[in-house]
Structure 1
Amino acid sequence: MKNADYIFLSQKWRASTLPYIGDSLEKLSQITNAKITIVGNKDIISKKSSDIIFIAYKERESENQIASLFIDKSRVNISYEIEKITQKHKCNFINMSEIICSKYNCLVTFENEIIFHDLYHLTPTGAKHLAFKLNDVILKSLDLL
């Protein structure tokens, strides 16, 4: 890590991990000059894709619109707390909740294929689609774009 140019930290962040992030960033900055980026949670929807698709079918609505009704606000708040911590420590933060959800839609399907297997794991289609969406976000966070 000492000679790294970039470090990305990603995990299943929970409220219980928040107190440790600042200390970890401080310790990392003492051993490296790398540009540090924390990647936020992607598991902000509280229902499985299959449940959302069933509800959308019954309601005759878009899956992605129905998914926005099941945003777990506590998980989104964790992202905003992490963002505050990264700003304090002059690190980058990639807010996955903003990439996955807009105000009225959350990605559950893309081109009629499911994005998530369950609440946490992406399908191959989901991984490809999020990688495409993340490309510019990552390059901007590294000042490469």
Structure 2
Amino acid sequence: MLIREAIEDFELNQVVLSRAENYINKCMCILDLFERYMKEEFDIAHVEDFKSVHIRNLIKYWQELSNERNSTLNNNLATIKVFYKYLTEEEYIELDKVSTRNIRNLKEEKIIIKIFNNTEVRGIVRD
């Protein structure tokens, strides 16, 4: 099956499952980038030719290309994993052939929220 056909089938499935339009659009954008990358970098046009190493290379490419935070890249990766899961559930590809379970999320920067001490709170309340 061609990647484009699989993406269109995945999109239809998301519509049938009543996913939010914004979510579906986001998924399609990421999967379009994924399809283009697979064609340009590996000359792969069929889902049967996917391997886990291709996803790792895509992540590396995104890291080098963009200024996106790892949390954003993890969201993109989650979309690719959902797509792969769909392909295996629909038996377009074999579960043993491609496993995204071994692809770990990128380490995300911890956000530390600075809290106000009592003196700062009193100053804010007085103003």
Give the structure with the higher percent helix. Answer: 2
More strand by share: 1
TM over 0.5: no
